[in-house]
Chain A
Amino acid sequence: MSVEKQDGIWIFAEQRDGGLHTVGLELLSKAAELAEGAGASVTAVLLGSGVETLAQVLVDHGADRVLVADDPLLKHYRVLPYASVLESMVRERGPSILLMGATAMGVELAPRVAARLQTGLSAHCIDLKLDGDGRLLQVVPGWEGGVVATIKCPDHLPQMATVMPGIMRARPPEHRNGSITRVAVDLAGVNLGPEVLEVSMEPPKGVPLEKAEVVVAGGWGIGGKEDWKMIEELAEVLNGAVGATRPAVDEGWAHEDCMIGQSGKTVRPALYIGIGISGVMHHIVGMDQSKNVIGINTDPSAEIFAVSDVIVVEDYRKIVPKLIEAIRARRSTGYRALECTDPGLSAT
């Protein structure tokens, strides 16, 4: 049952329209780290149509082996054919661990595959380790601020986890040798489910939240849509992006795409300013890799302060407008915010 006795560690290398999602490369880096300690191999699984050229990219990022299922029926992602192919690959070769990104695709596909294999799946992991027996320890954000839970899947294989994009770092590519194996696809008699009519992509506007060097995030404490404009204005003067907690999104002050945290985005800017944010774990896991954190809240016991470099216990309505003025004044004397420098692969 240990990692090295099975078919090692697998990662699902998500692609759409021939572009690899960066989360696959992040998973490869983590898988390689786990495999080193366990003497296991790392396999990347690539599904699609005309995608074989991506296999070497996966090798260069840490895959010892790439299993490519290339078929016109896999051109567009659909949960049923993808689950069918992945399931049969797993049944045939028996990996110990299967990791997938917690992306729109991953969170739909991984549970379906786990249910077919009758195995456990932990969602939105923020870290992965192996215990002394080679079992996967899946670290997921817990309920209370300051606590994370570790999940195990002690009696079933493969041990499956989805991992939040952006939380792990992809290794820089280096030329490596790895095996690239084409796997036969047989979808005859398989229910393919809904038919894809159209895929349309909309490039994000402005600085993408995940790549912004300054993030100004607001929470429940902002209190209303009108006051939310202060968050947007502060972000604007800092050339940053606006972030939000779930309550702020649920209240309709901020768009869902701004949400930072367990079921939102992971950010790691040079500066994160959290305003009116209590700091529940769901949000903290998405921002605590920020280089510098400033917390502004009237409640001195707010959890956000536990992860802040700079604490401001004050009503943001008094502080923020004056801060915007002060920054504008300084900017006129030559201030400029950092530019985004993260090269990253094209995220789809």
Chain B
Amino acid sequence: MNRIIVCIKPVPDPKHWHKVSMDPVTMTLKREAIPNVMNPLDKHALEAALRIRETRGGEVVLLSMAPPFAERILKEGLAMGADRAVLISDRVFAGSDSLATSRILAAGCRRIGEYDLVLLGNFSIDGSTAQVCSQLAEFLDLPNVMHVGELDWDARGNMIVTQRIENGRVKLLAAPPIVLSVRRELNKPRYVSFAGILAAEKKDIQVLSNEDLRLEPATVGFAGSPTKMAGLEVRRSERARARIEGTLEEMVQQLADRIFHYCVV
């Protein structure tokens, strides 16, 4: 194995999601109050990369397109064991949809150089579009497999990838270079060790702007995103919102009455 690139996205910590709000004027996310964490599924992608390196060698490079605060998330990935990290950060990339994001990440991959594998989480927990794996692969002109639940090698050194689908699985014979996005059951990500944290301090985070990537500004960011936000709507619920009150016993009986009423034919 020559090199494995792992795409990492900082996302708002789901434990604080109730604090997220949207600015109705700019139609952007107000997330200042929310701490960022590494997208949970990306950790599984990184764990997969580290395990492959342990058995088949190669360099593990983290790649992220994010504001500068993402350095802290990349440090965490370096502390888990990645060799180095590349952060693509430029205001011109703001407002990118999945197509523009994938174009930028593809430029980042090419800048990193030769690689055998690009790994990422199946989706990010904030946007949840799950579109970057396929679109990044398209821009890199590589095959891709999503929903990877198992990753093995046969005796001849061929990669065997098992894809989870509705009520089943598909086993595929895959050949690098390829882009794979993984599900949580693939592995259990390792914890960051104290030695890992110390080692991460010595590892490099390279920051790239569009001066380095030289993408046409019309193809990235808001300008390069075919999808546009057209509106925000407040959902009004017509539910009764009847509150059950009383002692614990009274509440239980009322609740059982309701359930009985709803469910008995």
Contacts and interface: CB of A to CB of B under 8 A. Distances in A.
Decide if A and B are genuine partners. Answer: yes
Interface size class on chain A is 35 or more
Interface string A190-211: 0101111111111110000000
Interface in A320-335: 322-323, 326-327, 330, 335
Interface string A232-264: 000000100000001100100000100000110
Nearest to B170: A199
A347 to B, nearest CB: 7
Given A120-B97, A143-B29, A292-B262, A348 B249 contact: no
A149 B262 contact: no
B265 A336 contact: yes
Interface stretch (B66-74, B77-85, B193-201, B220-228): B220-228
Nearest to A291: B262
Nearest to B144: A79
Most buried by B among A154, A193, A293: A193
Contact of A112 (B126, B144, B249, B258): B144
Given A247-B15, A310-B255, A147 B235 contact: yes
A123 B134 contact: no
B18 A146 contact: no
B138 interface: yes
A308 B160 CA distance: 46
Nearest to B178: A194
A337 B263 contact: yes
A256 B259 contact: no
Given A111-B98, A311-B244, A338-B265, A262 B128 contact: yes
A119 interface: yes
A126 B263 CA distance: 27
Interface secondary structure of B, over-half rule: mixed
Given A144-B20, A326-B256, A150 B231 contact: yes
A144 B22 contact: yes
Contact of B237 (A197, A200, A306): A306
A213 B260 CA distance: 13
Nearest to A293: B239
Nearest to A105: B165
B243 to A, nearest CB: 4
Nearest to B27: A149
With most chain A CB atoms within 10 A of its CB, the pick from B178, B184, B244, B259 is: B259
Contacts of A262: 128
Nearest to B159: A194
A323 B143 contact: no
A103 B166 contact: yes
B135 A147 contact: no
Contacts of A318: 248
- Which secondary structure characterizes the binding site on chain A? mixed
Contact of A195 (B99, B172, B230): B172
Contacts of B253: 326
Contact of A194 (B133, B167, B173): B173
A246 B161 CA distance: 25
Contacts of A184: none
Contacts of B232: 142, 147-150
Nearest to A339: B265
Contacts of A220: 14-15
Contact of A347 (B147, B166, B184, B249): B166
A256 B166 CA distance: 12
Nearest to A23: B166
Contacts of A309: 239-242
Given A120-B97, A146-B234, A112 B240 contact: no
Contacts of A280: 17-18
Interface string A136-168: 011100111111111111111000000000000
Contacts of B97: 120
A1 interface: no
B171 interface: yes
A153 B226 contact: yes
B168 interface: yes
Contact of A312 (B29, B135, B143, B255): B255
B241 to A, nearest CB: 6
A13 to B, nearest CB: 15
A314 interface: yes
A180 B226 CA distance: 32
Contacts of A322: 248-249, 252
B247 to A, nearest CB: 11
A250 B145 contact: no
11 contacts: A123-B130, A142-B232, A148-B233, A191-B143, A195-B172, A201-B168, A263-B125, A294-B259, A308-B239, A326-B252, A326-B255
**What 8 A-B pairs are tightest by C-beta distance, nearest first?**
A120-B226, A193-B143, A120-B227, A123-B129, A201-B168, A111-B131, A115-B138, A111-B134
Given A149-B233, A280-B17, A323-B256, 13 more contacts: A111-B130, A115-B134, A116-B138, A138-B227, A143-B20, A144-B21, A151-B230, A199-B170, A256-B184, A263-B123, A322-B249, A330-B256, A338-B263
